Structure 1
C-alpha cells in the first residue's frame, strides 16, 4: 500500500517538528509521507516538481504568498484537491474566506495533535471514497461508451457507428468523382422462425456465427455492422467498380450455405442482400440505407442469387411507402378533425410500469397503435419511422400527448387516492420546438393535471445536437415539474462524460439487455454497470421487456427499482388498463 502524501505549508518549524514526532509510527510504517514547504510559492514549486499530493495542510499568514492566495491557485490547478487550513487566525471572517476558496476543513492553532490526527484520517477517507467512486463511474462510462458504438452480442460495430462512418464517406466521395463506395444491407431469411422455435439463446448464437462469417468474408478495411435484430450492413469504401460488392455478396452467400451446428441443432440459414452504389451520387446517409433496403427486399424475391443492386426501377416498393405516408396524413387529419362517419384510426395502448419490490403500479407507458381501414393493424415499427422522416411525428406526437392526458384525467377522477405517472415518448423533432415546454404546460392545465404526473421519454439521440440549447430546453420542462427519462439506454450514443449535466430523472434499460442477462454473464455485467451508473448519478432505473421470474429476481438483486414487460402485462387498451388498475388496487377481486 502506497503512503498517503501530505504537503504541509507553514513558515513555523515547530509545526514540522510536532508532526514528525506525532506521526513517526505512521511514517515508519509507510502510511503517511509528509513534505514541508515554508510558503505558498514554495508549495506550488513542490506540487509542480513532485508527484500528486493526497492532501494539503496550510497556514494562512505566510511570507511571499499567504494561504488564501494558495487556496485560489490550488483550485485552478485541481478542483478535487482537499486542503485543511491550520491557522491561529480562526475568526469567522478568516474561516469563511478559507471555505469560500475551497478549504475542506479548518483547525485553530495551537493545534491539538489528536484533533489533527482525526482530521487527517477523516480527510484521507473522504479522498479515498471519492477516488473509488470516480473509478467505478469511469469503468461504467467506459462500458457504456463501448456499447454506444459496438454491438455487445456480436462484437461488431453498431448502427450508430456505421451511420457516422458512412456520413464521412459520403462527404469524402462528394469531391472525388473517381472514388466509389458501396453498402451491402443484409437480412437473415426466416430468422424469426429459428428464434421462436429454438429460443433466444440459440438465436443469439446463430447471430454470432453469422457475424463471424461476415468478418471472415470481408476485407479488413470494410466496416461490418449489426444494425439490430437479424440485420447487418457492410461498407466498402474506395472500390474500383460494382464487382467488388457483388463478389463480396457471393462470398457471403457461399459461406452461409454451410449449416451451423449449435448444441443438438443443425441450422440452415440464408440471407437476402441489397446493394446500393455511390454512382447514384448520394447526399444523405438515410438515402443510401433506404435504397440498399429496397434492393434487399427485391433480393428476397429472387430464388438464385439472393442479392440485388438498387436501380431506379425498383420504385414499386417506394410507391407503396408513399401510399402509406399519404394514408398516415389522412388518418391524422381524421384524428384531429373528428368525423362521426369515419372511425378514428389511431388509439393509445398503455403498458404498466411497476415497482419491482412491491408489484404496485407506478405508471403507464403510452404506446400508439394504428388500425388502417384496409390493411388492419400496422406495427409502429413500420409507421413511426415514416412519421419521423416526414415530420408527421409532430402532429402524431401531440395527439398521443393530449389523448394520454385525457385518459390520465379519467383515471385521476376514478382513482383519486392513487398517484402514478404517465410516460409519453417524445421525438427529437418535438423537443426542438421553442415553445415545447409551454405547450406541455397548456395541455396539462387544460386537463387539470399536475406536471409531476407526467414523465417524458427521450432517446439518447435527442441529446446530441446543440448541447447548451438542449440543457436549457430540458430545464424549462423540469421547471413545470415534468420528469424526464432516457429511453432504450445503452443502444444509442450519448455524451456520457456530460450525462450529469442533463436534468434526467430516470434511465430505461433496453429490453435487448434484459432478455439475455440471465443467460449471458456479459449482458448481466452490462445491466449491472448501467444500474451502477444511474445510481451514481442519483437516477432511478426502469428495466424494459421483463418476461421471466428469473429476470425479475436478477434485477431486484441489482437494485433496479422499476420494470415493465409481459411478466406483468402486455400493452392494454384504455378499458383493459383501467381494469388492471382496479385489480392492482384490489388484488382479491
Structure 2
C-alpha cells in the first residue's frame, strides 16, 4: 500500500530522503576501520550494478575508474584520509556494468573519530555524461562523444571486418564573416539552425556531432567507397543549403566538406578524424569562396599540405604583426597624355624562408582565417601614408614634377590618387566606413584621393548591406572602382545597382583585343556603356604598344599594365616623382 502524503511537516530523516531522491545523485559511505562501503540505489543505477553484484571492498570499485583519471582521484582520497583535506571533488570516468565508461562527479566529506583520525568518508555521485558528451549550444553529441563512438565503431570494424563507413568533417563557409555581420546571437542561432538541419539530414545509425566553432563531424554509415561518400555528402548539402533569416538579414551559407573513408589501416579514431580535417583544409582552398559547396576526399600527401597550410597561417599572422608585408605600386596612365594619374597598391609577402609568396596563396588564406581584416587595414594605412609622403617630398623640392620618362609614358605630377583593393571579407566587415574615415584622418589624406577597388564577388553574399556600405563610402568622398569588370555572372546588373564611378576592364578582354572574333568589339561596347553612364574606365593588363594604341583610338581614357611599368617599390616611385637635382 502506497505511503499517504500529509500536510504535516516531514520528519528530518524523510526530508533528507526526499531531497536525495530529487537530486538524482547517488550516495555512498566508506567506513575506514572495517574497510566496508555502502552504496545507495541511485548509485547502483549510475554504475549499472545490482545490490547482489556489489562488493563492500572500496578498492574493488577504484579499479573501475578510468586509468587516466585514477591517479588524481587516488591522490585526493589519500589527502582526505591523511586529514590534509576535509573535502573531495573530482570529475572522472567510471566503467559502467556494460563496459562503457561514463563521466561522474564525486563529492565527499571526511568525519573524524575521537582520536582525530578519519573514520568515515561519505559523499555523492552525479552522472555528468550528458553534460560532458553533449554540445550545450546545439544539443548534438560533442567531440568527446564522437571520439568514443568512433572508437567503438572501429573495434567493430576490426572484429567483423566491416569498414563500410566514413568520417566527414564539415564547416559553414566564411562563418566568421557571417558572425561579424549577424552578431554573436545571430551566429549562435545559425549554428543551432544548421545543427537541426544536419540532424534531419543524417538518420541513424550515422551520427552527427559538433566539433566546435562552425565545425561539425559525421560518422557516415553504409559507405563502401569514396565515390559513394561524395554522393551522400552532396545529398546532405542539398538539405543543408537553405536560407537562414535573422531579424532583417537573410543568409545562405556555403559549406565545405572533408571526407576520410575508413579502412583497416587506421589504428586510432584520432587518425581518421585528422585525415577528414586535412581534407577539409584542402576543400577550403580548392575553389572560389563563392561556391556553395566544396567537397574533398582525403588522399596521400594531403595531411602534409594541411600542416603546411597551418604553418603558413601562423607565419602570416606573425608577418602582419611584424610589418613584414610590403606594398608595390603600379602606375595608372592617362592614355592620351601618357602621364601618371595614380597608383594601385599591391601587397606582397617576402617570406624569410619560402621567398616571395604570391597573393593568390596568402590572400585566400587571410580571408578564411580573418587575418584579412588587420592585413587590409595595414595596406590601407600604408598606401594612404605613402601618397602623402610622395606629395611632401615633391613639395620639398620646390617644384612640380617635370616629365620622368618610362616606357610609353611622358611623366607624372603630384596630383595623384591611390587605389586599394578590398576583399569580400573586408567589404562586409562591421565598421569598415568608420575605419577608413579614421585612417584618412590619421594619414591626413583627403577622401577624394583614395580609390577602393571592389570585385563582384564582394557584392554577391549580401547585396543590401553592400549597397549601404557603398553609399556611405560615396558620401565620404571615396572613389569606387568595379574591379575585373566583365568576368562575373551579372556585371551589368551590379553596374546598374551599385554606385561605382569607374570600371576596370578585366585583363582577359584586353589580351583578346587583337583577335578577329569580336575581341575589340567587346571592349568598345564596354567603353560605350561607361560613357552613357558617365563613368570612367581603366583598362587592365596592357602589355603591348598595339594594345595601348587600340585602346587610345577607341577612346579608353586610362590604362595600366606591364607595357607602361611593372609594380614598383615606394622608393622607386619616389625617385621617379622627385628626381635628384
TM normalised by structure 2 equals: 0.48
TM normalised by structure 1 equals: 0.47
Larger-gyration structure (1/2):
2
Higher share in helix: 1
